[in-house]
Structure 1
Amino acid sequence: MTSADNAHARDAAAPATGFYGRRKGKPLRALQNQHLQEDLPRLQIDLATLSDQALPALFALPVAEVRLEIGFGGGEHLLAEAARHPGIGYIGAEAFVNGVAKATAGIVEAGLTNVRLYGDDVVPLLDRLPAGSLARIDLLYPDPWPKRRHWKRRFVRPDNIDRFARLLMPGGHFRFATDVEDYAAWTLRHLLADARFHWTARVADDWRQPWAGWPGTRYEAKARREGRIPGYYEFQRI
């Protein structure tokens, strides 16, 4: 077995989970906690009732397609996208309670009707969503797990790529952003080797420049201040 085969085997043997680390940070403010108690129940996706129905039925008003953001952090990008595209449904998945609280408050304050949330490890959600039901999946600045012994924890790995391929409709897109060069190379290696995906870049500026309408994130701003240059990678489901 070659070293590449060994690496692939280690990736494939990774446990079926997408989240490692803390689930809660600083104590929630009173208003954030109120939003969690009063508003999250109607926004939260319940796996027990999620069926093979068309995903647009999850939203109060008709939507043309559904997109998923994995690990939305404080929700800056998720809410900006939902506000910019009211005719598209957005599902945001985030296991960190503080991020869920902030996003819930933002959804309510902005009066958004096209966002649903999933506040837990995203893998069970990915396994319950209907095949071919998503037009786009965004994975923005995931934890790079830089130590070699932790690479199996990286979210971009063969089992999750299989999940993306199952969920994306033909012509759908997987978008990935990172400020870690090694993680960018890792992701390119995995996606370029997968015949189900096509990297859309034609010239270097295609991955050096943010996508149209990109609002940025707090993490991205911090990375730029510290001299780390983000990259924006997009792959189309064939």
Structure 2
Amino acid sequence: MIDRKSFGSTEELHDKVAADVTKILRNALLESGQSLIALSGGSSPFPIYEKLSRTGLGWEKVSIIPADDRIVEEDSELSNIAALRRVFGDTGATISPLFETAGNEAQAAVEARGIADKLKFPLDLIWLGMGSDGHFASVFPGPDYDTAFKPPAQAKAVRVRPDPLPPEAPVSRITLSVPCISNARHIIMVISGHEKRAVLDRAITDGESSGLPVARFFAQLDRNITIYEGP
């Protein structure tokens, strides 16, 4: 089921998402004493991440991974793991990359497939964004599109190369696979703006015939997703 929540102001959106995510994390910590979450990159989530990072919920028991990342060195401005470390680095949370070897795409892909050996899945929470082209995480149309939806050997993460490459980040990526995303206990998506809401409307109304990656994701999703929509 798709549960859409609309907000008239950015402040209201940020407060509600932060409150709901805090509740999810507290419940996970009460239930098992630890939590694994995946957070998306991009600029829009980070004001909410900053708000979350100031919440005293026992971050030392929380492990954070990126929902996806660009195969770049960590000192690159394109690195999602670096951005997450800047926000959550002082909280005590364990912040783990999807890969270690940025200079070798093949090696990065091997390392990403091994993340299940180091982390306890399923995710308690995955936080997704959505592009105006309908991509989510780093699931874009391209040569690895089907692999992201049906990864080999049930891999939790796979290397993907968008086609065409986004001009603002023309590099290959590692993304959590769609089965890994779909298996998360809580799935949220946070978007803002008329353009993205129109894309979302199209994805929901037209379904897979829209050709949008997010529509294909919704079509195969067998659990709830909460979508927070800002102005």
Please give the TM-score of this superposition, normalised by the length of structure 1: 0.36
Q: Which has the higher contact order (CA 8 A, sep 6+)?
A: 2
Q: Who wins on radius of gyration, i.e. which is larger? A: 1
Please give the TM-score of this superposition, normalised by the length of structure 2: 0.36
